[in-house]
Amino acid sequence: MPPSKPESNGPCLRDVVARSVQQYLDDMGPTPPDDLHDRIIREVEQPLIETVLRHTGGNQSRAARILGMTRSTLRTRIRRYGL
């Protein structure tokens, strides 16, 4: 996959994720990861939600809109992660 066009302030998120996943796989060596998709989602979702909540000053309705989820789903994730 060719690299995406960088944004004016640095590489795009897609490229950063691709490099991070490749590094993770390289670090794993011959041991195949299990449930890689679920593992990545679990690792990324909590800081994503925390960051968006900080960005909105804790406004859950705005945060849910930014995240593309319902407020109810956001509240469920907030409880899940103890935020």
CATH of the domain at 47: 1.10.10.60
* Residue 56 bridge partners (DSSP): none
Same domain, 80 and 44: yes
Give φ, ψ of 10 to 5 degrees. Answer: 140, -175
pTM, full prediction: 0.71
Q: What is the 3-state secondary structure (H, E, C) of 3-25?
A: CCCCECCECCHHHHHHHHHHHHH
Same domain, 26 and 47: no
Same domain, 43 and 71: yes
Note down the domain range covering 9. 1-33
Contact criterion met (CB below 8 Å) for 73 and 64: yes
User: Rounded distance, CA 68 to CA 73, Å?
Assistant: 10
pLDDT at 7 over 70: no
Helix/strand/coil for 7? strand
Same domain, 15 and 39: no
pLDDT digits (tens, 9 = 90+) for 10-40: 779 899 999 999 999 999 888 878 899 998 8
Same domain, 44 and 81: yes
